[in-house]
Chains A and B, each alone.
Chain A
Amino acid sequence: MRQGAGNREQGTGNREQGTAWLVAALLVGLCCSAGAQSIVGLPSAATGKGHVTFAAEVVEVAAGKPAVVELRFRVDEGFHVNSHTPSSEMLIPTVLKLDVADGVKLLGEEYPKGSAFHLADETLDVYQGEFRVRLRVVVPKGQSMLKGGLRYQACDNAACFPPRTLAINVAVTGK
């Protein structure tokens, strides 16, 4: 009997110990989660050395039919890149080059219009902030990869950076 009571006490003790561990784990989890979420808000994590970033997204389209896939890019604040149709032939246009997987048809690309950027007495045609390139594609059922790169040349209002190519990987699922 005493032994039984002892077991119950032991059982209660184990439950309390279990609850304590659960609370401790919850606390650790909460602290970690608070820290991780705060990192998401930091701008430096999103801005790269190349001054242009690509927002990769999960894309789902109807399989076997022409569909539009939008690729979203962001130019760092204070910088600009030439549009797809720059104001001078000496300037380097923004161009997307893609290698499409077998079974994927790339029907066309549509670049956005640029905005005017004034540098002394010259007016440039540029992308600033977010810009989107629209692709018209036909994809088969299942997941297909669109891989390639965006070639661009970035400047701020006093200096320019050499042309770069930003890697693009987009998983498109045909349903």
Chain B
Amino acid sequence: MRRIAVAAVMVVVVCLLFWAGWHNMRSRRMAMQQARQTPVTVTGGEDSGPELKLQGKAAPAFTLLDTAGKKVSLADYKGRPVVVNFWATWCGPCKLEMPWFEEFRAKYKAQGIEVLGISDDPEQSKDDILKAANKLGVTYPLLLPDRAVAKSYGGVEYYPETFYVDKNGTVVEETAGAPSKDEMEANIRKMVGAGQ
């Protein structure tokens, strides 16, 4: 009787071992499948994805020095649509989109738009910024870093990050990562058309 009981226990243990192995293999397969199906983040933030921080809200005010040492305030452009673009000299996607800002600034000149490029890396010197600007053919105002401004815009943690501010000072659109040129123009048109 006791032998039968021991044999039964052994059978149960062997079955459990098989079950554990099967369960483990199944879990691994599911994890692998999940990993394959997870899309690669293209314009995401720190694993949590882009988050709309200021859309529909008033653009935070700031005063910064430009590369010529002149004070520039957002308030200076009251009544005009303004693109506020956070960038860095080591950011490839930023440099990809900056010439497009230059182009649209000229195209929508009649609507009074301005672009303010805020370099957001305190380690970047004014010379680095000017060098990058010259290479890219950028002529719009480039402002020197101040992390407090980035913080007021929700803490810029990846680049580029852009806020489209209408003539009433409201953020009508914001983008994290470089959009396509068409998307950028659509955002500019939305900004120009808003607050009429």
- Restricting to B71-90, which residues have a CB under 8 Å from any CB of A? 88-90
Q: Is the CB of B92 within 8 A of A19?
A: no
Contact A41 B31 (CB under 8 A): yes
Residue of A nearest to B23 (CB): A34
Interface string of B123-163 (1 = CB under 8 A from A): 10000100110000000000000000000000001111000
Report the minimum CB–CB distance from A39 to chain B (whole Å).
9
Expressed in whole angstroms, the minimum distance between the Cβ of B118 and any Cβ of chain A is 14
List B contacts of A34 (CB < 8 A).
Answer: 20, 23-24, 27
Contact of B41 among A26, A119, A156 (CB under 8 A): A156
State which of B28, B35, B121, B158 has its C-beta within 8 Å of the C-beta of A159: B158
A73 to chain B, nearest CB (A): 19
**Interface residue B59 (Cβ < 8 Å from any Cβ of A):** no
- A49 CB contact (under 8 Å) in B23, B47, B128: B47
Asked if B68 CB lies within 8 Å of chain A CBs, one says no
A92, B139: Cα distance in complex, Å: 25
- A108 part of interface (Cβ distance < 8 Å): no
Q: Is A4 an interface residue (CB 8 A)?
A: no
Assuming the A-B contacts A34-B20, A42-B31, are A159 and B176 also in contact, with contact meaning beta carbons closer than 8 angstroms in the complex?
Answer: yes
Interfacial chain B residues near A91, Cβ < 8 Å? 90
Say yes or no: is B7 at the interface (Cβ < 8 Å to chain A). no
Q: Determine which of B16, B42, B47, B123 lies in contact with A158 in the assembled complex, contact meaning CB atoms within 8 Å.
A: B42
Q: Which A residue sits closest to B16, measured CB to CB?
A: A30
| C-alpha gap A162/B94 in the complex (Å) | 13
Residue B186 at the chain A interface, CB threshold 8 Å: no
Question: A90 contacts B89, CB within 8 Å?
Answer: yes
Q: Are A160 and B159 in contact (CB under 8 A)?
A: yes
Q: Does A23 contact B (CB under 8 A)?
A: yes
Number of contacting residues on A, CB 8 A? 35
Q: How far is the CA of A37 from the CA of B23 in the complex (A)?
A: 10
A161 and B16 contacting across the interface, CB-CB below 8 Å: no
Near B by CB (< 8 A), chain A positions 89-132 give: 90-92, 119-120, 122, 124
Q: Are A78 and B41 in contact (CB under 8 A)?
A: yes
B93 x A158 contact (CB < 8 A): yes
What 0/1 pattern do residues 35 to 52 of B give for CB contact below 8 A with A? 100101111101100000
Q: Which residue of A lies closest to B159 (CB)?
A: A160
List of B residues within 8 angstroms of A156 by Cβ: 40-42, 44, 177
A19→B9 CA distance, assembly (Å): 9
Would you call B90 and A159 a contact (CB within 8 A)?
Answer: no
Whether A119 contacts B96 in the complex (CB less than 8 A), given A41-B28, A153-B90, A158-B43, comes out as yes
Query: If the complex has contacts A159-B43, A159-B176, are A90 and B28 also in contact, measured as CB distance less than 8 A?
Result: no
- Give the contacts of A116-175 with B (CB-CB under 8 A): 119-120, 122, 124, 153, 155-163
Cα separation A164 to B120 with both chains bound (whole Å): 15
- CB of A43 within 8 A of chain B? yes
Residues on A with C-beta less than 8 A from B176 are 159
Bound complex: CA of A49 vs CA of B41, how far in Å?
12
Minimum CB–CB distance from B47 to chain A (whole Å) comes to: 6
Given contacts A43-B38, A122-B92, 11 further A-B contacts (CB under 8 A): A12-B2, A37-B27, A90-B89, A122-B95, A124-B92, A158-B43, A159-B178, A160-B90, A160-B93, A161-B46, A162-B157
Closest 4 interchain pairs by CB? A78-B40, A38-B27, A159-B177, A158-B177
